[in-house]
Structure 1
Amino acid sequence: MSPTEDAPRRSWSELSTDLAGEIFGRILCHADRVRFGAVCRQWRISARRNPLPRQFPWLALPNRTFYSLPNSAFRRLPLHLHRHRQLPHAQSSCGEWLVFQHHDGAYTLVSPFSTATTMVLPRMPTDPPVTHDTPPPLQKLVVCSPTLVAAVVGTRPSQLLLCRPGSASWSCRHDRLQALEIQDMVSYQGKLHALVNSGDLLSISISEDDDSHAGGEPTVSSVDCLVRISPGRRTEPPLYLVESEGALLMVRKENHSTREGSYSDDDESYSSSDEQSNVILNPDDDDSYVPLYSAEQIELQTKFEVFAADMAGSRWRKVRSVGGDRVLFVGHWCSRSVHVVPDVHQGKAHNIGDRIFFLQDRGADGYGGQQWRTVEFFCTIYDMRERRSQLFLKTPLRPVGSLGTWLFPPSGRAAGMSEHC
């Protein structure tokens, strides 16, 4: 018998949990982490004993592909929608959830990180109720818990709606929420927090005294204004609300549509490989010209201001940095703060903190009336230290219903994702 045949075969499950945990901690890709946990029971236990910080998001595009950070590659979304043939495209996202709208107006939430995880939400109500009337457009969706979902619908004013997944209808009527335009909303410390277009920050308490399994409807029990902006100091949208290291941040996006003229501050600039090539000058009259910027130029001119909520002083305090170990990912549908550790082996921009990754808003200039045409889509990075934007990603797509949205893998979970990703 050969020495090879004499040597006993060892199982992968015999690898010590400490060593397996060390290996697991070095895996950056969420899909590889899932495959690690699928090897055997011991490795799955090791993965669960070593919870990881919140991971980089995926950038989900309307063509059902996603861009994986930090792997920098386009892949097909691991969705099996043969049971949901009514779902033409994802309208929006909410954390780990893609939001699909049915032809009848109802919604299905699908998690690409779990092949069997879905939520079904009812059709948005019309106000006033009219037979066959079109429901107000969905502006924001927040999954507060497995038994509570909040939605913002309509504009000027917007409405806050609440429901339990699987229920037949939405509910919510509160006098203090009827005349507001909600810009963004997050679930924070057990309450909903809403940022309105004026810059005011509201805390919304939800009563869930009724048994959720018995079909009790959630209701708004109180609304408190935590930060109030004086009328003379109102801010302009778009605004984003982000929880970061226990604090609430208001992120204000500025570009040529929210600020007159181009940026010419001595200490601020925007970057572009060819600054003037995409700027078109159209004659307004014989003596003046009005600059019309391309979509790429608009993104590269974008700047951000970040403010932290000072609850005690009922004010927003401007901050110059989001943290050397923090990156903000902001978008119309979903925004998050992610802890990052610089990786000398990667050496790429998305491994460095104090930056803001941002996407075009749904109504971005240059996209009007082009829902079925192929256009250029941009993901851009704003450097808080250098106060400049630079292009991170450019790809052609058809903006069917949306341009793109962030998807965030569930924190600390390393199982359940499709092996097709």
Structure 2
Amino acid sequence: PAPRVRRPCRLCAVCPHWRAAARQQLVPPPLPLLALPDGTFYSILYPRLYSFPGCGFAGYESVCGSWLVFPRDDGCFLVNPFSRATVTLPALSCVRLRPSNAVAKWSLEDGSKVADPYITWMHINTSEKLHISKLIPCSPNLVAALVGIGHTSQILLCQPGASSWSVRAYDQCKGFEDMAFYQGKLYAIANDENLLVVNISQDHSTGDPQVSRIGQIIKGEPWYPVVLEDNTMPCKKLYLVESHGALLMVRRAIWCRVPGPGVPGEVIAGVSGFEVFKADFEHSRWVKVSTMGDDQVLFLGRRCSRAISVSQYGLSGDYIFFLDDDEDNRIEYAYDEENTSFGVYSMRFRSIRSGAPNISWKRYITWMHIITSDSNLPARGIVVVSACL
């Protein structure tokens, strides 16, 4: 008889139970990595060096989602460093005003020209210091940006690949601290801790997205910097981040040393403290929480923040990783050291420690953000915490 031919067989075809188990086994999301300007990558949870040949990081100036932002004279373009997909955005000089005939209104007070009745986009749009503080790809057809000078900014919208942004020209500019796209809606928070929802409509003539209304959802109970008797002063940063289906506001207090009366010197940043609040939309209030859960870790950055579940890796949660990534034109204090790293705050023990001692970068010329897998735009990456020039 002819010899029997043994044909190769895939393992998953041998046993239907194995095949069913393989289908149910989900690959956990990758752990965050720290990417430095020299192209090296570090795990912030394990002391390990990584390398990803062919990933071009040089020259990017910001991060949004899983995209690196590269500026150009005629706008900027976003690049996913792993898939190499690109998306172009308009220049800040190309903004469609609503109404189209809007002009800046001024009045005289004590011989000086001041914005009337308050600062709007028309008062800041020609400034050389105008820059994008944050970008959010909300959907394949919508990108939102916080654009302004110093602590004053406005919300602009556009479609990827469009020739212009859209802005409500007469809306009051605010001291926006952060912005987040949560459960299909765009939210923003200012330094007064009021949570605002940005209602978006479509321009009937062009089909472009536009802000139709900005409404207050939660009224905050803010505090502002005050010099105490021991010559210390808390400065505040606010972050918006989604965790376990809830929208969180993280209030960071940076305790600074202030020179005594008549003593020359700078305000020097010191240790940070954190408070976390959950948005209670039903009762229109912020509710303080003492824990984020044993499996949740927050990564906070001025350009991007994320919450990650770490229990699947056998790691403990309830920690906050944070960055000293101040914008040059929003700095209210100086630092003792030129170099910086990330810090880690324990919600459970209300204590803080510095990040990895062997990882640091020059302060003010670099910053660090989170890049995460993002299904809103047609490209996917790995979860990366990055520092860039």
Q: Same fold (TM over 0.5)?
A: yes
The Cα shift of 1:107 comes to 1.3
Mapped to 2, the partners of 1:194 and 1:130 lie a distance apart of 20
Mapped to 2, the partners of 1:353 and 1:190 lie a distance apart of 27
Mapped to 2, the partners of 1:317 and 1:238 lie a distance apart of 18
Alignment deviations for residues 320-356 of structure 1 (CA, whole Å, 9 cap, x no partner): 0111121111111101111221645xxxxxx211111
Q: Tell me the equivalent position of 2:86.
A: 118
Matched, 1:384 2:347: yes
For the 8 Å contact 1:323–1:353, the answer to whether it is kept is: yes
Give the alignment's TM-score, normalised by structure 2. Answer: 0.72
CA 1:319/1:98 → structure 2, altered by over 3 Å: closer, same or farther? same
Gaps of 5+ in 2: 95-120, 226-234, 383-389
Q: Tell me the equivalent position of 1:219.
A: 210
CA 1:137/1:411 → structure 2, altered by over 3 Å: closer, same or farther? closer
Gaps of 5+ in 1: 24-45, 82-86, 262-281, 345-350
Mapped to 2, the partners of 1:20 and 1:397 lie a distance apart of 47
* Aligned residue pair count: 337
Mapped to 1, the partners of 2:45 and 2:243 lie a distance apart of 21
Which amino acid counterpart does residue 65 of structure 1 have in structure 2? T
Q: Tell me the equivalent position of 2:243.
A: 244
CA 1:139/1:342 → structure 2, altered by over 3 Å: closer, same or farther? same
For the 8 Å contact 2:69–2:77, the answer to whether it is kept is: yes
Which structure: greater strand fraction?
A: 2
| Residue 322 (structure 1) aligned to one of 280, 286, 292 | 292
Which structure: greater helix fraction?
A: 1
The Cα shift of 1:123 comes to 1.2
Matched, 1:63 2:38: yes
Mapped to 1, the partners of 2:88 and 2:40 lie a distance apart of 23
For the 8 Å contact 1:92–1:333, the answer to whether it is kept is: yes
For the 8 Å contact 1:107–1:122, the answer to whether it is kept is: yes
CA 1:91/1:411 → structure 2, altered by over 3 Å: closer, same or farther? same
Report percent identity of matched pairs. Answer: 35
Q: Tell me the equivalent position of 1:254.
A: 253
Mapped to 1, the partners of 2:124 and 2:347 lie a distance apart of 48
Which amino acid counterpart does residue 40 of structure 2 have in structure 1? T
The Cα shift of 1:157 comes to 2.2
Matches within 5 A, 1:66-85: 66-68=41-43, 70=45, 72-76=47-51
Alignment deviations for residues 395-414 of structure 1 (CA, whole Å, 9 cap, x no partner): 2334574222222234799x
The Cα shift of 1:229 comes to 2.4
Give the alignment's TM-score, normalised by structure 1. Answer: 0.67
Shift >6 Å, 4+ stretches: 15-18, 129-133, 282-285, 288-293
Q: How well do the aligned residues superpose, as a CA RMSD in angstroms?
A: 4.0
For the 8 Å contact 1:96–1:113, the answer to whether it is kept is: no
Matched, 1:353 2:321: no
Alignment deviations for residues 371-411 of structure 1 (CA, whole Å, 9 cap, x no partner): xxxx5331221100100011232323345742222222347
The Cα shift of 1:185 comes to 0.3
For residue 356 of structure 1, give the secondary structure of its aligned residue in structure 2: strand
For residue 302 of structure 1, give the secondary structure of its aligned residue in structure 2: strand
